[in-house]
Amino acid sequence: MPLKIAILSTDTSIYTTKRLEEVALKKGHSVSVINHLKCNIEVDNEGPKLYYNGQYLDGFQAVIPRIGASVTFYGTAVVRQFEMMKVFSIADSRAIVHARDKLRCCQLLSKFEIGQPKTVFTNYSKNVEHVVQSAGGTPVVLKLLQESKRIGVVLAEDKAAAESVLEAFNGVKARVIVQEYIPEAKGTDVRVLVVGGEVVAAMKRFTKNRDFQSNTAKRKKSQPVNLSEAEKDVAIRAAKALKLGVAGVHLIQSKRGPLVLEVNSSPSLKELESVTKLDIASKIIEYIEKEVQE
């Protein structure tokens, strides 16, 4: 059955947006790329409505949110409106918010006993020495809760540096989590894409000079990787814990097994498809078809 699908994206030229649109159209579906920042949300006793580009949006069976971190509030409000209109979303509004909130994400992973680096968060505690020790001692990683594209991630290699950075962040009332540094990861992480509770693609990323931020532009190369059963299990459980139908799960290896660094509610397909040579976009559209038509 042909579906009417909305892709929420601010830029039609983005690789992931183009690929999802291309595949959905090829499968016979109707697709509209909608700039969620230009939608009007209307709420009254006649029910929820979305007004966009001179008309009301209706008749959609599915929505694919591609919500940027800087516009999470309004973007998730639009997703929530679609949900109220009984439209299936591959990432519901609450799941997007939980994935974007680093602390909430860590709390959910902990609730379901999913491995992650030790993490500490305080309300500007002056006892910074105890905070550092609670995260396993130096070196430690400090992350701003509102960081974007890894801006605001600091590696403090010794006690004095850690305490100095923490005190500086506290002084400007910047919310920070302190996280255990995993030396055995050696600047390498694994990116896993989970769709509908199944791992559909994975790649390993290496960084120059064993840089601890394997999320940065300094990475040297990426390659496909065959995951262990433990890695698959952790990635699937992490996506389930965040209640995400489609999730990018970032893992690192440690002496105690795979650990989750981050769960992404709007994972990019560009590098994953390029490295793995897999048609991941089709897997996402097939997931939507299954969920909507059941």
34 with 154, same domain: the answer is no
Report how far residue 179's alpha carbon sits from residue 164's, in angstroms, rounded to the nearest whole number.
Answer: 16
Nearest C-alpha neighbor of 31 from the set 63, 1, 4, 67: 4
**CB-based contact 240:85 (threshold 8 Å):** no
Return the structure tokens found at 158. 């010794």
- Domain boundary at 157, 181, 205, which? 181
Contact 76, 101 (CB under 8 A): no
Mark whether 51 and 176 lie in a shared domain: no
Q: What is the CATH number of the domain that holds 257?
A: 3.30.470.20
Within-domain flag for 47: yes
Same domain, 9 and 85: yes
CA–CA distance, 177 with 146 (Å, rounded to integer): 10
Same domain, 26 and 136: no
84-114 pLDDT per residue, tens: 999 999 999 999 999 999 899 999 999 999 9
209 domain residue, yes or no: yes
Is 260:62 a contact under the CB 8 Å cutoff?
Answer: no
Residue 146, classed as helix, strand or coil, is: coil
User: In terms of domains, do 189 and 45 share one?
Assistant: no
Alpha carbon separation from 54 to 38, 40, 172 (Å, rounded)? 11, 10, 44
79 and 110 within one domain: no
142: tokens are 């400090």
Task: Tell me whether residue 260 is in a domain.
Answer: yes
Do 48 and 20 lie in a common domain?
A: yes
Residue 276 belongs to some domain of the structure: no
Per-residue pLDDT for the chain (294 aa), expressed as one digit of tens each? 899 999 999 999 999 999 999 999 999 999 999 999 999 999 998 899 999 999 999 999 999 999 998 899 999 999 999 999 999 999 999 999 999 998 999 999 999 999 999 999 988 777 888 888 899 898 999 888 765 554 568 888 988 888 888 888 888 888 888 999 999 988 889 999 999 999 999 999 987 554 555 444 455 689 999 999 999 999 999 999 999 999 999 999 999 999 999 999 999 999 999 999 999 999 999 999 999 986
Q: In what order do the strands lie in the sheet with 4-8?
A: 30-34, 4-8, 62-65, 88-89
β-partners of residue 244 are: 91
* Residue 106 shares a structural domain with residue 124: no
Work out how many domains the chain is built from and give that number.
3
Examine the domain organization and report whether 103 and 227 are in the same domain: yes
Tell me if 151 is assigned to some domain.
Answer: yes
* Partner residues linked to 262 by β-bridges: 250
Same domain for 123 and 103: no
DSSP per residue, 204-230:
EEEEGGG-S-TTSTTEEEEEE-PPPHH
Please report, for the domain that includes residue 24, its CATH number: 3.40.50.20
Q: Are residues 106 and 246 in the same domain?
A: yes
Instruction: Report the CATH number that the domain containing residue 161 is assigned in CATH.
Output: 3.30.1490.20
Domain closes at, from 135, 150, 181 = 181
Is residue 142 situated within a structural domain?
A: yes
Task: Say yes or no: 135 and 257 in one domain.
Answer: no
Full domain range(s) for residue 77: 4-91
Kindly state whether residue 126 falls inside one of the protein's structural domains: yes
Q: pTM of this prediction?
A: 0.89
Beta-sheet strand order (sheet of 40-42): 40-42, 49-52, 55-56
Spatial distance between the Cα atoms of 11 and 38, rounded to a whole number of angstroms = 12
Q: Identify whether 270 is part of a domain.
A: no
- Whole-angstrom Cα distance, residue 157 to residue 139? 4
Closest to 275 (Cα-Cα) out of 216, 227, 205: 205
Residues in the chain: 294
